Structure 1
Amino acid sequence: MHAWPASEVPALPGQGRDLRIHDTATGGLVTLDPGPVARLYVCGITPYDATHMGHAATYNAFDLVQRVWLDTKRQVHYVQNVTDVDDPLLERAVRDGVDWTALAEQETALFREDMTALRMLPPQHYVGAVEAIPGIVPLVERLRDAGAAYELEGDTYFSVEADPHFGSVSNLDAAAMRLLSAERGGDPGRPGKKNPLDPMLWMAAREGEPSWDGASLGRGRPGWHIECVAIALDHLGMGFDVQGGGSDLAFPHHEMGASHAQALTGEFPMAKAYVHAGMVGLDGEKMSKSKGNLVFVSQLRREGVDPAAIRLALLAHHYRSDWEWTDQVLRDALARLERWRAAVSRPDGPSAEALVEQIREALANDLDSPAALDAVDSWAALQQETGGTDPGAPGVVSRTADALLGVAL
């Protein structure tokens, strides 16, 4: 599966700072010190509907992570999956009377278009669950043969007790885990499981649903969590720098994935930091496909909204915060974009050297994009009030906004 084209990232003078970011597993800020190549895995979409603002906010957060690392002169090895076979996709295809593969291809293509428009840097490896199945099956067999998995009525489950570190990502108690498992795709009430929290690794073929050859597992399809584990281990290995996604993935998805990988390899941890973006709401509720309360990136683009304004609307909120999408949020972003473009359109302006360092400092401090926007606002206001005599300043500001914030002026 191919990703989307990369926008050019302008080179800036000097060098960025190492990133301090909130790690869900430890509950505090950690300073990341990758080697020459920083390794990032971000969980991708289940392509049964268009990209909404919640998706965009999550991928914007990890785009900033990439940009901060690139500014430190590191390379970034970024991997993202596409869950192109799963219950929500199959259910939507049945509801709409369309082929599930065509639906997945259609929505994945639209996602690529949205990411391109928003100037999100693409992953080096963009991998669908279906294409990963040949690598998933041997991992499930290894877990089973090691006693970390078991069969139940043809399905294969992972035993959470096989990983002594289970629970160390989300730090939730058993009652909270069981509640979230039921809400987020698990089946804690199924009779016969060794532990109600045990997640499915391989689902035996169901009538009328797609299935693949699972060798000794029989025909079926992979569970949700093992998909990402197989892709991450294949392309990044254990101990990669950041596992990312929305805050609703901390449990069960990232918790279970970490335990799968740790049971497979005997190594800990799967990732050095587990980083989670907040949820975007609309009309008082989390924006989600299941609720249907969505604002789509593609719809805004069709209405003529500049993607740079959409990006500024996202950047105006700290990535870890939960926030509400409103018409005013977009109006504010459009006004900010107009001010910034007017400021950099002048032939000269106030010196921008300090501004570059202010933005670097803000982003290195747990991706504080609102502080970065405030810094540019202050420069633009000074440009408006007094102007300046530095002919290079507008260009420096424009390149910095592009390189570090992904905003094309």
Structure 2
Amino acid sequence: MRLYNTLERKKEEFVPSNGNKVSLYACGITAYDLCHIGHARSSVVFDVLVRYLRYKGYDVTFVRNFTDIDDKIINRANESGVTAAELAEKFIGEFYVDMDKLNILRADIEPKCTEHIPEMLTLTQTLIDKGHAYSTPSGDVYFKVRSFEGYGKLSGRNIEDLQSGARIKPGEEKKDPLDFALWKAAKPGEPSWESPWGQGRPGWHLECSAMSEKYLSLPFDIHGGGQDLSFPHHENEIAQSEAATGKPMARFWVHNGFVQINSEKMSKSLGNFFTIRDIIAKFLPETLRYFLLTMHYRSPLDFSFEALEEAEKGIRRVYSAMEQMEEALQKAKWSKAALPAEVLAELEDAEKGWDAAMEDDVNTAGAMGYIFTLVRLAGRIAEDKAWRKSEGGRDAWIRILADMKKWGGVLGIFTEKPQTFLAGLKLCMLERKGIEVSKVDELVAARQDARKNKDFAESDKIRDALTELGVEVKDTPQGPVWDVI
């Protein structure tokens, strides 16, 4: 298995440092608002990575934190008339609501910043003792960036370039404009904790260093997060942790790419900011998850509702194929005939291709292509009268279904019963069109009555009305079946 390591700027073979055990830390949310599509992408990316490592047989310890004290949290709490703790707890709960809908597994350990103040104080004191940090008269503590020789190695930035744009704000007591806060002196009305430097609270970067070191031995195997965190957050984590311990912090640094909205950066000021709830109000959560997997995790992902509709067609096609295979397996009588060797070879090639795609830096986009190879292969078997009634065809369908469910378990999709998913999708699509199911049922029933009365002109008229609504009716031996088109 190969993973792209941001630190080395290349793909490297991934081998855990401790036998079969994998240690993975991913930066979680700052709990002050509902999660947006960028949070969804990062969560899905690392959820799939964890699932795949476990599928490979590794014993994974996954740690994902919550930032529950921060300037944004304090400001939003003040605006809302609640405490920072109450606000953070509310949005941690909302995070779980969204992530459960997206089928995101809970991390093994989910530490909160405010529950690890002692560890942060110890780390800060260690950095002061080793000459990498200093306190100020007002009670702030800063990390001395120039004291850490490797600063910039993750992001590829150098001190000189950073220095040109750095400034010390009025009131700050930094010795160098590049230095960053480890501990912030308390301001009136803010939550604070006792420390050797007075009442205050931790800086954002400090928390992940302290919590990852507590739960995972350094260097741990994988540190993950969004591309936007590589600098300054992850760069500062490396500086703090490695300056304090003398050990590398993590062996692999894995970052997912940005989400763009119609080729523009997502921004509330541009009016193109979408929360997860904005999206799943119109589309099924599994459709969103499927969409997020259609592009390689390191590539930028361009979101639009049109792209989501295309994803909906894709996931519908897979579930429909699964439904058709399951129904065929229940009904058919099988002749003792095998499939041609070349058909079985195609199936084996698809299975090898899926494994190869996932082994190659968790290429879910490539892996998804092999799922559609199976869909096409299943369709070819169904179209050939001899194949679809043969034991060879039956065995191939059983194997294809097993592969789809197994791969779906890794990707976190295709896990529902096909009939259940497709029924829910039909209702979702109707609702998006503003059409009530009862209206469709009435028109379908009226058309059926017209057909029974041999009033084919009326029957055709009703069919046209259904088509205008975006509904297609198929006549089967069991009666009319309608679907959304």
TM-score by length of 2: 0.74
- Distance in 1, matches of 2:258 and 2:308, equals 17
- Distance in 2, matches of 1:181 and 1:93, equals 30
Which residue matches 1:281? 260
Query: Which sections of structure 1, spanning at least 5 residues, go unmatched?
Result: 1-17
Within-5 A mapping of 1:18-167: 18=1, 20-34=2-16, 35-152=19-136, 153-167=138-152
Shift of 1:329: 1.6
1:308 is the counterpart of 2:274? no
Which residue matches 1:375? 370
- Distance in 1, matches of 2:164 and 2:107, equals 33
Tell me the amino acid that sits aligned with residue 279 of structure 2: L
Tell me the amino acid that sits aligned with residue 300 of structure 1: I
How many correspondences in the alignment? Answer: 384
Shift of 1:192: 4.2
Shift of 1:41: 0.5
**Larger CA Rg, structure 1 vs 2:** 2
Per-residue CA deviations over 1:219-255 (Å, capped at 9, x if unaligned) read 1000011100010000002111111101111111101
**Equivalent pair of 1:190/1:196 in contact (CA under 8 Å):** no
Which residue matches 1:14? none
Which residue matches 2:353? 358
TM-score by length of 1: 0.88
- Distance in 2, matches of 1:58 and 1:178, equals 31
- Distance in 2, matches of 1:106 and 1:249, equals 24
Tell me the amino acid that sits aligned with residue 249 of structure 2: M
Secondary structure of 1:252's counterpart equals helix
Which residue matches 1:335? 313
Tell me the amino acid that sits aligned with residue 163 of structure 1: F
- Among 389, 394, 402, the alignment partner of 2:394 is 389
- Distance in 1, matches of 2:269 and 2:25, equals 25
Shift of 1:108: 0.9
Normalized per residue, the structure richer in helix is: 2
Tell me the amino acid that sits aligned with residue 12 of structure 2: V
Which residue matches 2:406? 400
- Distance in 1, matches of 2:225 and 2:211, equals 15
Shift of 1:133: 1.0
Which residue matches 1:246? 226
Secondary structure of 1:261's counterpart equals helix
**Equivalent pair of 1:177/1:252 in contact (CA under 8 Å):** no
- Distance in 2, matches of 1:343 and 1:180, equals 57
Within-5 A mapping of 1:261-276: 261-267=241-247, 269-276=248-255
Change (3 A) 1:57 1:154: same
Change (3 A) 1:145 1:292: farther
Greater RCO, 1 or 2 (C-alpha within 8 Å, sep 6+)? 1
Within-5 A mapping of 1:188-337: 192-214=173-195, 216-267=196-247, 269-287=248-266, 293-303=272-282, 305-337=283-315
Per-residue CA deviations over 1:238-283 (Å, capped at 9, x if unaligned) read 111111101111111101101101111111x211011111110124
- Distance in 2, matches of 1:127 and 1:181, equals 32
Per-residue CA deviations over 1:188-216 (Å, capped at 9, x if unaligned) read 787542332211000011111110112x1
Change (3 A) 1:395 1:160: same
Tell me the amino acid that sits aligned with residue 156 of structure 2: N
Shift of 1:147: 1.5
Change (3 A) 1:258 1:132: same
Tell me the amino acid that sits aligned with residue 64 of structure 1: V
- Distance in 2, matches of 1:364 and 1:142, equals 40
Tell me the amino acid that sits aligned with residue 402 of structure 1: G
Change (3 A) 1:65 1:237: same
Shift of 1:288: 5.1
**Equivalent pair of 2:135/2:197 in contact (CA under 8 Å):** no
Task: Name the % identity.
Answer: 34
Tell me the amino acid that sits aligned with residue 368 of structure 2: L
Tell me the amino acid that sits aligned with residue 277 of structure 1: N
Secondary structure of 1:170's counterpart equals coil
Which residue matches 1:169? 154
Query: Which sections of structure 2, spanning at least 5 residues, go unmatched?
Result: 330-342, 383-392, 417-485
- Distance in 2, matches of 1:283 and 1:189, equals 39
**Equivalent pair of 1:178/1:188 in contact (CA under 8 Å):** no
